[in-house]
């Protein structure tokens, strides 16, 4: 499939898949979408616990969500073990062409004095080996897994506190948004967990509810009216 680098409305770039008419990130702004959906409506609910946090990302892509989570982990002194699943890894040339780094730092001006160091860390995270745990910073380590999402159990990782569901849209991968995959994901989470996604599809709501989640529709990121969070035995 042909992949094209495109600029989004906030100046950050994304990868556009021409055959699917689908982008890796929101056309309204890749970084602000990631901050809103996965940090504000996911990670932020755990920072008062100070217990090691285990995160699963469905759709690792460019590593943007992982890098922002690393910054939040360091800022909040929150230990994070992060597993990212990706069937079609982004190429190094594509990563370099997108270069989210300056866009990320619009949200972290207090880290300006560390920009050079953190740029190296982001690149190291993206280029780090697959299938094995890699220590990226004192508060953050990652295991990148190249596989189909439906083979999640093959990575032998469980006990997830938080799920970032960042798969391509249902119009191009409808099977990703049905109960079968949600059941597989749920089987790897702790009895208390959060599932957050940019989507607000009815199939997601029904699937998560059938698995025992309390599902909340929340205001979406720029350009999207709503998003969805699933709470499993989790009180906010």
Q: Tell whether the model's pLDDT for residue 230 goes beyond 90.
A: yes
Q: Considering just the CA atoms, what is the radius of gyration of the chain in Å?
A: 17
- Of all helices (H) and strands (E), which one includes residue 127? helix 115-127
CA distance 108 to 122: 14
CA distance 27 to 37: 15
Identify the CA nearest to 134 among candidates 222, 60, 196, 191: 60
Query: Looking at residue 130, what DSSP letter applies?
Result: B
CA distance 55 to 81: 6
Helix 115-127 vs helix 64-76: angle between axes, to the nearest 10 degrees? 130
Question: What confidence category does residue 235 fall into, taking pLDDT thresholds of 50, 70 and 90?
Answer: confident
Ordered DSSP codes for 39-80: IITTGGGGTTT-S-EEEEEE--TTSHHHHHHHHHHHHHT--E
Judging by DSSP bridges, how do beta strands 140-146 and 80-86 pair with one another?
Answer: parallel
- Is 224 buried (19+), middle (13-18) or exposed (0-12) by CB count in 10 A? middle
Q: What is the pLDDT of residue 50?
A: 77
State the average pLDDT for the chain.
89
* Residues 146-204: tens digit of each pLDDT: 999 999 999 999 999 999 999 877 776 788 889 999 999 999 999 999 999 998 889 99
* SS3 state of residue 191: strand
**41, 94, 109, 168, 218 from 198: Cα distances, Å:** 10, 23, 25, 10, 10
- pTM listed for this prediction: 0.90
Q: What is the pLDDT of residue 120?
A: 93
Q: Tell whether the model's pLDDT for residue 82 goes beyond 70.
A: yes
Q: What is the pLDDT of residue 162?
A: 98
Question: What confidence category does residue 232 fall into, taking pLDDT thresholds of 50, 70 and 90?
Answer: very high
């Amino acid at each position: 499939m042909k992949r094209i680098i495109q600029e989004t409305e906030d100046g950050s770039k994304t990868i556009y898949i021409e055959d699917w008419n689908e982008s890796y990130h929101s056309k309204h702004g890749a970084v602000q979408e990631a901050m809103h959906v996965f940090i504000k409506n996911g990670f932020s609910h755990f920072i008062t616990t100070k217990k090691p946090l285990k995160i699963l990302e469905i759709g690792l892509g460019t590593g943007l969500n992982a890098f922002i989570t690393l910054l939040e982990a360091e800022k909040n002194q929150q230990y994070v073990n992060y597993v990212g699943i990706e069937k079609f890894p982004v190429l190094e040339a594509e990563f370099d062409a997108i270069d989210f780094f300056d866009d990320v730092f619009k949200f972290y001006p207090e880290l300006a004095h560390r920009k050079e160091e953190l740029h190296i860390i982001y690149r190291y995270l993206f280029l780090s080996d697959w299938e094995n745990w890699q220590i990226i910073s004192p508060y953050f380590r990652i295991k990148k897994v190249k596989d189909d999402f439906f083979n999640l159990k093959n990575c032998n990782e469980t006990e997830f506190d938080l799920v970032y569901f960042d798969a391509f849209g249902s119009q191009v991968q409808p099977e990703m948004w049905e109960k079968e995959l949600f059941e597989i994901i749920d089987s790897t989470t702790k009895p208390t967990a959060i599932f957050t996604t940019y989507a607000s599809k009815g199939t997601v709501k029904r699937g998560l509810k059938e698995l025992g989640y309390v599902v909340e529709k929340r205001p979406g990121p720029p350009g999207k009216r709503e998003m969805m969070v699933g709470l499993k035995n989790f009180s906010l």
